[in-house]
A and B are shown apart, each in its own frame.
Chain A
């Protein structure tokens, strides 16, 4: 528990406190703007805070993470457009509530329970991470390799409808991550003799292109102005209402943390699952679901926010990013010379303590920013696209330049922006590419170390997958993930469900 004494640093240091508050505000604004993602904001800030010390930089990003995830529900309620993909479920009942003239209360519910979800997620992060880290210390290189492989496969199978497309994109990301000089043998790979490419392609520039510029180019298709419902009605739920929905919110927070901690699943799936859970378990909702039920607003919002703490668990304890935002944070930590993994909490307890502290401050500021000046901040979601998009494009250019004060990174950003645009056009997911870029070199390192332990024998490595319990479990999970994607499994599952449903129909 060495990290515990550092928990209060962001509370006692005015600079860090202000950065956390500012980050939450900036994230809230970006998250509330339809089309601008939290990933884009985090990537921009990682590049811009490159010259900062690690602690302020990570506090800023944590603030943006919290603010951005929460901000997404604002436009979902007021415009029926989710500000971020993870706030899609907030449109189901949030917008109908706004149409009934209760937008104030919808925002109030979303805010109060978001704070609760965020704090519960952070509590789980604080308690589970040291435990998982100590278990992970016994992992061998082959286990890390298997876990990263599993992470990519799960991203492909859960995050996208088409596994081959996701794996292709992740594989391409890995190859991009391998460009440059090989760290073990010193030979050049995929450099075509270029000195510039010897040091590799900067993945932050790639991310700015994939998540920033590509999004701007995609958004250029819709320049229409949005129409918004006015904010009206009561803002805060009463104490009795709060207590009434407390058990549901705790259950949905647990769903959020659990789903968030699975690599690739993230808030998007967590909020949809929480909404589904609320629909199935609440027998007497305040109104029918889909027509403005309060339960339909608070369930996805709590899960969405608690998923933040969940997503940070595998990133901090195993060095495996749970989603695109945590991949960006991982990249940011690596830039700062840190190696996320089981040793992080032991070697940098201050960083872990500050992350927890910053998370608590950010959750509190979600409450403050969320309920302050509601009508004024609500207008932000109406900023016209012809003003917003050039500003974002401009920020991506400066962000790419700021990484190494080099125009070359701007060119890489533009190239990946165009690639990302066409990937969106042809429905290829961009998240696995970023995961591949970051995990690729790490995976290769672990793979080669595992091979060397087995005296260079591929057969020896294959055998060890079945003779060591952790490796066996991971191998089983990988095989199972692959099997679930086969047409045979899909057909069998459909048949089984049909058989289960038949008697119910007869009744």
Chain B
């Protein structure tokens, strides 16, 4: 279905407007609160729900698997590296899930390539990509294509 905004929680900060991949979360010009301008185009990706600092956005589920009275709430904590989901069913059952979103401090292990040593001309002319061939973890270099080794038939 689509997202909707609890008007009393929204403070019009615009984080949802910035993050929405479908560009349908807009700030209402009169009341200065976020709203979903085109519910039919909502992907239900939860990007805005996760981005909202005030937890003001909720998503209506489809009637078949999430009938009225249910709720799905999410809290994404980048510092802790976790995402936590709380699902409340109409009959009162509650389920909580926590999953990791990263195993390492955020962004720390992604190299800033412009500050690293330049690849030399010899490396540029090879068919290797970044981290190859070491990153492949195999003996020898990047495999090269050889039509004679192609397998025929459908069976593995």
Pairing of A with B:
no
> Hey, which bits of chain B sit against chain A, CB under 8 A?
none
> Hey, which bits of chain A sit against chain B, CB under 8 A?
none
